[in-house]
Amino acid sequence: MIKETRIIILFLFLKLFPLSVFPNPIFEEDYKSSIDQNYNFFIEIPAGTKEKWEVNKLTGKLSIQETKKGKRIIDFISYPGNYGFIPQTVAGDGDPIDVIDLDQSGIRGSTISVKIIGGLFFKDKKETDIKLVGINPKGSFKKINNINELLYERPSIIEILKLWFLHYKKPGKMVFFRYIGKKESLKIIEDAHKKWKHSKKIIKDS
């Protein structure tokens, strides 16, 4: 309830006090692709890079995270896939749903269509942290349709993703619980989109 209230306040703030000329991909990009039946995926961090970039929810600007020590660089090996989010969704932490895709490095700040095949269920400081796995429908793994096929045909890939997320932060911070099937993953997206629409409707009616 507290997190939903924060989203509502954010919508209201943006409505009353537009802060930037930047289009905000979190709110303005469609969550579904107009080209096919897949989902839109906004790339914040291209595969093979280590800088932690993210979209500012208030301004829509994509920029590198800043810490007390300066620009945030992942203290681990580079991202094993393009990392970003599905627009117009609200996850349990109040941010859009996280996605990592399995193809060659994309362009930071671009939006591509991905086929969601499943995901990995983690907890970060005891809070649910789901990482969905996307596949470029025209890419190297286009024949993979669900997480079970990936586990059977390319088990090393999913193991790399799991180990990477377990260790890219401080040891013990991320805890892996289970894999998420395709059907459950799609429901997670649709529920997160409904939550986004609900928050938007409250603001519109207020």
* Residue partners of 130: CB distance under 8 A and separation at least 6: 91, 92, 97, 98, 119, 120, 121, 122, 180, 188
The model's pTM: 0.86
For the stretch 183-202, pLDDT in tens is 999 999 999 999 998 877 65
Looking at the domain covering 2-205, what would its CATH class be?
alpha beta
Place of tokens 């269509």: 113
Q: Which pLDDT band holds residue 7 (cuts at 50, 70, 90)?
A: low
For the stretch 8-52, pLDDT in tens is 555 544 444 444 456 899 999 999 988 888 999 999 999 999 999
Domain boundaries, the chain: 2-205
Amino acid type, 112:
I
